C-alpha cells in the first residue's frame, strides 16, 4: 500500500477459534495449543452451547468433536454452514470411519482428523483452514468493489469485522428481505444501504434516501406518501411521495427510530399491503419498493418503552446488519487514510501521507464520530495544503478528547459511594449547555455538534428543564 506507514506494535486481529468437545481435557489442550500459536480461543462443552456462542459473536474457525451427547458434531456442522457458510469447520473424532468423513465433507467441513493426532498435524490443518477462509473473504471483498466501482466503492476495510460485513452484503443484496442497519453515527450506514442496492437486481432503479429525523412530524406523512392538491394549507399542487419516487428500487429510511407512532402504523400497512394512499387522495397506488432502514438507537429498548411498534420492528428487522465502530477496527485506519487522501486530492500519493506519531495517535484515538470524523480530519489536512499529516496538525478537539480520556482513566469512586445517574445527568447537562453556547443558541446546530437528531436534542433539553418552548 503506497503512501501510508505502519508503526511498531501494529498486529492484525488474531483469528478467533471455537473449540467444541465434551471432554474438558481436550478443550483445555486445544485452547492452550491455539493460544500459544497466537490465536484467540474459546471453548464450549456441547454443540448446543456452541450455537449460543455463535449467535453472539463470529468465529473464523470451529474445531468440533463428532461424537457428543445431544446434538452431535455433524449436526453442529450442518447448522453452522446453514447460517454462516464462510466459517471454516474442522472435525475431530476418536472413532474414525470413512462414512463419517464423507458425511462431514458433504456438509462442508474443511477437513477431518482422527484422535490421537500429532500436534504439528493439527497446527498445519488450522493454518491451512484459516488461509483458505481468508482467501474466500478477500475474494468476496473484491467482488463487491468491482461490481460497481463508481458508486459502491465507498466501503473500505480489510479487518475481519468488515470482511464479515462485505460477505453479508453480498448475501442479502440478492434477496428481497427488509434490512435493518445498526451502528453509531458516522459508521457508514448509508454506504451499506447503497452497496446493497447496487449489488441487487434493482441496481438500475431509483435509490431514494431520507433522514427521518430531519423531517418535521407535521410533514412526514406527506413526504412518505405524497399529497393531493388542496389536501392542506400550502398544498397548491399534487406531490409524489418517497415511496412512489423509489418505485421499483430501494427506499432507505435513515434514523427510523425517529418516526412517530401514528406514522409507524401507516408505514407498517404500506410494507404489508405494498400500496399507498396520498394525503387527501382517495385512490390507492401499488408500489414495489425494497425497504432498508438504519438507526443508531436501541430499537428493542424503544419497543419496551412503547415508543416503537413491536410489529413494525419485526417487519423491518428481517435481516440485521450491525456496523462496527472505527475504534473496534483500528487496523482499517491506514487504508481509510489513503482512501480519503486520494478522494480529496484527486490523486494517489507517492510519499508518506501521515507521520508515525500521528498514525499511532489516531490508532489509539476513540473516534466518537467514527469514519466520518476521520474523513473530516484528512479533508482538513488537504485543505491546509499539508504534504504530510503530523501530530501537531491534528485538530485541537481530537487532542483535547485524548487528554480528557486520560483524565477519565484516572477517575476514582469515593469510599462512601456515589449516585452514578445524577453524576451522568450533570455531565450531560453541561454538554447540552456548552453546545448551545457554541452554536449561539441555534438548537439544530447544537444537536449536530453532539451527533444527535434535533428531536432527541429537544427531548434531552426538556428532561433537564431547559426547553423554553
Measured in whole angstroms, the distance separating CA 176 from the mean position of its chain's CA atoms is 20
Instruction: Give the CATH number of domain 16-136.
Output: 3.40.50.2300
Query: What does pLDDT average to over the chain?
Result: 83
> What are the backbone angles phi and psi of residue 292, rounded to the nearest 5°?
-125, 125
Alpha helices by DSSP H, 231-308 = 242-245, 261-273, 299-305
State the pLDDT at residue 160. 83
Q: Break the chain into its structural domains and give their ranges.
A: 16-136, 178-322, 329-409, 420-463
pLDDT in tens, 71-108: 988 899 988 887 777 788 998 877 656 567 677 777 88
For residues 163 and 86, give the distance between their C-alpha atoms in angstroms, rounded to a whole number: 11
DSSP state of 323: P
Window from 191-200, 373-382, 425-434 with minimum mean pLDDT:
425-434
Q: Quick check: 424 and 458 in contact, CB under 8 A?
A: no
State the pLDDT at residue 12. 30
State the pLDDT at residue 401. 64
Q: Does the pLDDT at position 145 exceed 70? A: no
CATH architecture of 420-463: Orthogonal Bundle (1.10)
**Which triple of cell numbers denotes residue 212?**
427521518
**Residue 146, strand partner residues:** none
Residue 366, Cβ density class (10 Å: 0-12 exposed, 13-18 middle, ≥19 buried): middle
Q: Does the pLDDT at position 152 exceed 60? A: no
For residues 258 and 253, give the distance between their C-alpha atoms in angstroms, rounded to a whole number: 10
pLDDT in tens, 247-283: 999 999 999 999 999 999 999 999 999 998 888 777 8
Domains 16-136 and 178-322 fall in the same CATH topology? yes
State the pLDDT at residue 411. 61
CATH superfamily of 178-322: P-loop containing nucleotide triphosphate hydrolases (3.40.50.300)
pLDDT winner (highest mean) among 33-47, 109-123, 345-359: 33-47
329-409 domain in CATH 3.90.180.10?
Answer: no
Amino acid at each position: 500500500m503506497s503512501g501510508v506507514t505502519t508503526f511498531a506494535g501494529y498486529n492484525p486481529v488474531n483469528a478467533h477459534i471455537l473449540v467444541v468437545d465434551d471432554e474438558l481435557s481436550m478443550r483445555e489442550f486445544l485452547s492452550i495449543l491455539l493460544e500459544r500459536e497466537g490465536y484467540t480461543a474459546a471453548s464450549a462443552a456441547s454443540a448446543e452451547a456452541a450455537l449460543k456462542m455463535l449467535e453472539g459473536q463470529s468465529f473464523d474457525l470451529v474445531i468440533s468433536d463428532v461424537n457428543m451427547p445431544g446434538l452431535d458434531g455433524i449436526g453442529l456442522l450442518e447448522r453452522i454452514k446453514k447460517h454462516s457458510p464462510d466459517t471454516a469447520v474442522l472435525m475431530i473424532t476418536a472413532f474414525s470411519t470413512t462414512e463419517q468423513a464423507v458425511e462431514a465433507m458433504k456438509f462442508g467441513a474443511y477437513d477431518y482428523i482422527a484422535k490421537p493426532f500429532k500436534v504439528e498435524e493439527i497446527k498445519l490443518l488450522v493454518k491451512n483452514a484459516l488461509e483458505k477462509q481468508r482467501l474466500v473473504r478477500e475474494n468476496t471483498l473484491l467482488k463487491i468493489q468491482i461490481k460497481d466501482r463508481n458508486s459502491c466503492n465507498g466501503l473500505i476495510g480489510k479487518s475481519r469485522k468488515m470482511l464479515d460485513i462485505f460477505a453479508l452484503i453480498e448475501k442479502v443484496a440478492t434477496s428481497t428481505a427488509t434490512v435493518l442497519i445498526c451502528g453509531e453515527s458516522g459508521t457508514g450506514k448509508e454506504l451499506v444501504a447503497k452497496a446493497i442496492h447496487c449489488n441487487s437486481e434493482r441496481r438500475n432503479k431509483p435509490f431514494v434516501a431520507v433522514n427521518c429525523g430531519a423531517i418535521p412530524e407535521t410533514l412526514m406523512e406527506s413526504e412518505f406518501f405524497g399529497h393531493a392538491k388542496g389536501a392542506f394549507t400550502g398544498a397548491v399542487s399534487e406531490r409524489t411521495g418517497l415511496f412512489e419516487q423509489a418505485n421499483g428500487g430501494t427506499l432507505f429510511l435513515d434514523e427510523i427510530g425517529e418516526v412517530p407512532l401514528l406514522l409507524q402504523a401507516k408505514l407498517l400497512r404500506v410494507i404489508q399491503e405494498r400500496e399507498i394512499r396520498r394525503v387527501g387522495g382517495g385512490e390507492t397506488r401499488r408500489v414495489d419498493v425494497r425497504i432498508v432502514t438504519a438507526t443508531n438507537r436501541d430499537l428493542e429498548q424503544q419497543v419496551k418503552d412503547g415508543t416503537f411498534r413491536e410489529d413494525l420492528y419485526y417487519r423491518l428487522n428481517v435481516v440485521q446488519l450491525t456496523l462496527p465502530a472505527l475504534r473496534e477496527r483500528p487496523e482499517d485506519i491506514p487504508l481509510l487514510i489513503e482512501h480519503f487522501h486520494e478522494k480529496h486530492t484527486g490523486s494517489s500519493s507517492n510519499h508518506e501521507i501521515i507521520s508515525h506519531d500521528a498514525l499511532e495517535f489516531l490508532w489509539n484515538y476513540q473516534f466518537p464520530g467514527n469514519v466520518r470524523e476521520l474523513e473530516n480530519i484528512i479533508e482538513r489536512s488537504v485543505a491546509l495544503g499539508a504534504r504530510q499529516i503530523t501530530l501537531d496538525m491534528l485538530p485541537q478537539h481530537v487532542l483535547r478528547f485524548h487528554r480528557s480520556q486520560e483524565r477519565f482513566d484516572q477517575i476514582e469512586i469515593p469510599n462512601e459511594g456515589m449516585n452514578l445517574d445524577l453524576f451522568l445527568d450533570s455531565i450531560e447537562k453541561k454538554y447540552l449547555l456548552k453546545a448551545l453556547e457554541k452554536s449561539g443558541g441555534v438548537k439544530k446546530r447544537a444537536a449536530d455538534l453532539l451527533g444527535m437528531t434535533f428531536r432527541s436534542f429537544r427531548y434531552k433539553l426538556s428532561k433537564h428543564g431547559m426547553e423554553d418552548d
